[in-house]
């Protein structure tokens, strides 16, 4: 990953962590490998609401059909990054 | 996890939520007495959860029309209209619905679910955007998925949120279909149509309004929210169902855009579903006449709505934001909702239990739907039952 890409990735990850914190206690570590469904127990409805928060946080549109391939925090960061790049 | 293991997981989740032996979903009904009463087990039960807003399921005109259609045209069409043709009734009902809405075109579908599936997937496609209210009905979500368009949600009835999402789309808002509902099926609240129209015009989008729960209920002639707000000319496509106020089964889409007719050739749910039966079409045509002339029925319906909403409010139930024929009591947990639902059934009243994830915002609902033909005595009986159950549950 190029340095600027890595910095964007880390920035997205950090901001995403803030929104994911609502699904877990303060002691639970949220890493890129954290599984959204199995570890954070984010069901389909919670995920849809989380996506609206993400859209506002990053000022992007995230089609809910793009979520089919998202299982981990890393995959969600990548999706946000792809949408941001495509918009530029 | 194997295919069958997944279903075992569903069964386990159901069992954890609902006690053994309680048939909450798909309640066995043993005899139907009227539009408002039935026999469940050994008990006479009052229907307060069947969307029979005008009570037309037993209207003599509708039953007679259905009988005559079976005698003259048989029990079914045995195929789609594309393959097996369009009967006189199909064409007549489309003409009558277009006339009812003063619209150029109408397509009739076999179910209300299919009407949304077929219309949305016919209008939008890959590369387009559908912008839907977060509380949309499953048929809207499924139609959007089938379309292949990008699906974006806006917060329920939040116009600043809709505006923000349209702005984000930029030029793509021109190929965006906005979808809202006349009355939302969960909480019974109406869409802020005037503001939605303003936004769709500002962003050059297309608007589809689903009047499933508002047909027959709102507006002088019962067209729905479009009539109540005087905005019929501003809504591009209107869908709806025959299975609520019209007491049958089926759905429709009307529009002043002549392009609507092309859906007959590209919309897979329309092309590959058998067409409505002659009896269904005939009873719906008869019901539509009654609905158009049903000012008195609507007046009775709204009297009943205001009575129940006010009774439940006074009893301290948490309700949806405004009185409507869909009156939802909002509970904090599935267990509380189940207890209320069971208590009402034991007191002779059948309502709908709605649990997460079907209910919005993680809530649980006990949903009532009021009918024009509920009598004053029946509405008083309902109020008393809610009071009795509340007393028991608060102990």
Mean pLDDT computed over A22-47? 87
Question: Is the CB of B357 less than 8 angstroms away from the CB of A61?
Answer: no
Q: Say what the pLDDT of residue B280 is.
A: 98
- B325 and B245 share a domain? no
Q: Does A56 touch chain B (CB under 8 A)?
A: yes
CATH code, A31: 1.10.1200.10
Cβ–Cβ gap A59/B153 under 8 Å: no
Residue range B165-171: mean pLDDT, rounded: 96
DSSP-assigned beta bridge partners for residue B368: B327
**Mean pLDDT, rounded, of chain B:** 95
Residues B100 and B199 in one domain: yes
B279 and B130 housed in the same domain: yes
What is the per-residue pLDDT across B344-370, written as a single tens digit (0 to 9) for each?
999 999 999 998 877 877 789 999 999
Whichever domain contains B352, its CATH number is: 3.90.1150.10
- Average the pLDDT over A6-27 and give the result: 88
Dihedral sign computed on CA atoms, order B331, B332, B335, B339: negative
Count of domains forming chain A: 1
Mean pLDDT, to the nearest integer, of B99-120?
98
Element holding B122 (H helix, E strand): helix B112-123
Looking at beta carbons, which residues of chain B come within 8 Å of A88?
none
**Which of A43, A56, A63 lies nearest to residue B151, judging by beta carbons?**
A63
What is the DSSP-derived secondary structure letter of residue B76? -
Please determine, for residue B204, whether its predicted confidence score (pLDDT) is greater than 90.
Answer: yes
- Which residues in chain A are contacts of B169 at CB distance < 8 A? 61
- Burial of B80: CB neighbours in 10 Å, binned 0-12, 13-18, 19+: middle
Of the pLDDT bands very low, low, confident and very high (cuts 50, 70, 90), residue B21 is low
ipTM of the complex: 0.89
Q: How confident is the model at residue B310, as a pLDDT?
A: 98
Tell me: do B234 and B355 sit in the same domain. no
Mark whether B306 and B286 lie in a shared domain.
no
pLDDT, tens digit, 9 for 90 and up, residues B30-46: 999 999 999 999 999 99
Q: How confident is the model at residue A1 (pLDDT cuts 50, 70, 90)?
A: low
CATH of the domain at B168: 3.40.640.10
Cβ proximity of B341 and B366 under 8 Å: yes
Q: Picking from A25-34, B249-258, B378-387, which range would have the lowest pLDDT averaged per residue?
A: A25-34
Contact pairs from chain A to chain B, CB under 8 Å: 38
Is B267 among the domain residues? Answer: yes
Task: Say yes or no: B74 and B39 in one domain.
Answer: no
* B145 has a pLDDT exceeding 90: yes
Flag whether residue B258 sits within 8 Å of chain A, measured between CB atoms.
no
Domain count across chain B: 2
Chain B nearest-CA distance from A51, in A, is: 9
B383 burial type by CB count under 10 A (0-12 exposed, 13-18 middle, 19+ buried): middle
Note whether B102 and B172 are within 8 A (CB): no
Can you give the residue range of the structural domain that contains A23?
3-87
Query: Are B171 and B199 found together in one domain?
Result: yes
Answer whether residue B238 shows pLDDT above 90: yes
- Does the pLDDT at position B235 exceed 90? yes
Which residue, among B57, B38, B60, has the nearest Cα to B47 in the 3D structure?
A: B38
Residue B191: count other Cβ atoms within 10 Å of its Cβ: 23
Burial of B48 (0-12, 13-18, 19+ CB in 10 A): buried
E strands present in chain B: 31-32, 37-40, 43-47, 105-109, 129-133, 150-154, 176-181, 206-210, 237-241, 251-255, 326-331, 349-350, 352-354, 364-369
Same domain, B182 and B305: no
**By the CB < 8 Å criterion, does B142 face chain A?**
no
Beta-carbon separation of A63 and B152 below 8 A: yes
Q: B132 near B144, Cβ under 8 Å?
A: yes
Domain boundary among B249, B265, B292: B292
Kindly tell me the sign of the dihedral angle through the C-alpha atoms of B21, B26, B27, B31.
negative
Q: Is the predicted pLDDT of residue B227 greater than 70, yes or no?
A: yes
Instruction: Decide if B169 touches A, using CB distance below 8 A.
Output: yes
A64 touches chain B (CB under 8 A): yes
Query: Do both B36 and B148 map to the same domain?
Result: no
Q: Are residues B75 and B187 in the same domain?
A: yes
Whether B153 and chain A come into contact, CB under 8 Å, resolves to: yes
Residue with tokens 């102990």: B395
Q: Which of B271, B292, B313 is at the close of a domain?
A: B292
Tell me the C-alpha distance between B165 and B152, whole Å.
8
User: What is the rounded (10 degree) CA torsion for B387, B388, B392, B393?
Assistant: -40
- Please indicate if any CB of chain B lies within 8 Å of the CB of A51: yes
Determine the residue of chain A that is closest to B131 in CA distance. Answer: A63
Does A60 contact chain B (CB < 8 Å)? yes
Higher pLDDT, B20 or B319: B319
Domain membership of residue B170 (yes or no) is yes
Q: Are residues B232 and B306 in the same domain?
A: no
- Out of A82-86, B115-119, B344-348, B385-389, least confident range: A82-86
- Domain-located, residue B3: no
Confidence tier at A24 by pLDDT (50, 70, 90): confident
What confidence category does residue A45 fall into, taking pLDDT thresholds of 50, 70 and 90?
A: confident
Q: What is the pLDDT of residue B302?
A: 98
In a domain, B34, yes or no: yes
Considering only the beta carbons, identify the residue of B153, B357, B362 that sits closest to A52.
Answer: B153
Lowest-pLDDT range of A79-88, B145-154, B252-261, B276-285: A79-88
Beta strands in B142-220 (DSSP E): 150-154, 176-181, 206-210
* Strand-pair partners of B150: B129
The confidence band for B18, taking pLDDT boundaries of 50, 70 and 90, is confident
Contact A58, A12 (CB under 8 A): yes
Residue ranges making up the domain that contains B378? 17-47+295-393
Which of B209, B147, B204, B138 shows the shortest CA–CA distance to B173? B204
Q: Supply the pLDDT for residue A23.
A: 85
In chain B, % of residues over pLDDT 70? 99
Q: Please tell me the distance in Å from B168's CA to the nearest CA on chain A.
A: 7
Please tell me whether residues B82 and B225 are part of one structural domain. yes
Mean pLDDT of B180-188: 97
Poorest-pLDDT segment among B219-223, B237-241, B329-333: B329-333
């Amino acid at each position: 990953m190029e340095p600027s890409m890595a910095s964007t990735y880390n920035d997205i990850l950090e901001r995403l962590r803030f929104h994911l914190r609502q699904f877990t206690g303060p002691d639970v570590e949220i890493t890129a490998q954290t599984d959204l469904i199995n570890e954070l127990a984010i069901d389909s409805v919670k995920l849809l609401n989380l996506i609206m928060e993400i859209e506002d946080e990053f000022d992007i549109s995230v089609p809910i059909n793009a979520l089919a391939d998202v299982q981990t925090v890393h995959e969600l960061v990548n999706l946000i990054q792809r949408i941001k790049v495509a918009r530029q | 996890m194997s295919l069958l293991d997944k279903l075992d997981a569903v069964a386990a989740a159901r069992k954890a939520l609902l006690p053994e032996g309680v048939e909450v979903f798909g309640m066995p009904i043993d005899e139907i007495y009227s539009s408002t009463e039935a026999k469940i087990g050994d008990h006479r039960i009052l229907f307060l959860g069947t969307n029979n807003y005008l009570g037309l399921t037993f209207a003599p005109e509708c039953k007679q029309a259905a009988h005559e259609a079976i005698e003259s045209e048989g029990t079914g069409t045995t195929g789609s209209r594309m393959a097996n043709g369009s009967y006189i009734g199909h064409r007549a009902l489309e003409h009558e619905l277009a006339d009812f809405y003063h619209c150029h075109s109408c397509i009739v579908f076999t179910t209300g679910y299919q009407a949304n599936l077929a219309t949305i997937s016919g209008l939008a496609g890959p590369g387009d955007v559908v912008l839907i209210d977060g509380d949309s009905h499953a048929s809207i979500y499924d139609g959007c998925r089938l379309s292949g368009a990008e699906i974006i949600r806006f917060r329920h009835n939040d116009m600043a949120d809709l505006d923000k999402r349209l702005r984000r789309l930029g030029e793509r808002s021109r190929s965006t279909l906005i979808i809202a509902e006349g009355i939302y099926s969960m909480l019974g609240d109406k869409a802020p149509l005037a503001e939605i129209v303003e936004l769709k015009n500002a962003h050059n989008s297309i608007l589809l309004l689903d009047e499933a729960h508002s047909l027959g209920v709102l507006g002088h002639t019962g067209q729905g929210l479009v009539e109540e707000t005087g905005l019929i000319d501003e809504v591009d496509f209107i869908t709806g169902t025959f299975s609520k106020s019209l007491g049958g089964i089926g759905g429709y889409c009307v529009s002043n855009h002549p392009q609507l007719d092309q859906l007959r050739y590209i919309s897979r749910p329309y092309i590959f579903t058998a067409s409505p039966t002659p009896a269904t079409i005939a009873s719906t045509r008869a019901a539509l006449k009654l609905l158009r002339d049903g000012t008195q029925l609507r007046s009775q319906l709204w009297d009943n709505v205001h009575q129940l909403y006010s009774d439940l409010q006074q009893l301290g139930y948490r309700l949806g934001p405004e009185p409507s024929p869909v009156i939802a009591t909002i509970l904090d947990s599935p267990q509380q909702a189940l207890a209320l639902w069971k208590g009402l059934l034991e007191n002779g009243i059948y309502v709908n239990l709605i649990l997460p994830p079907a209910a919005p915002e993680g809530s649980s609902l006990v949903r009532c739907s009021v009918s024009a033909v509920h009598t004053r005595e029946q509405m008083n009986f309902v109020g008393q039952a809610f009071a009795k159950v509340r007393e028991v549950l608060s102990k």
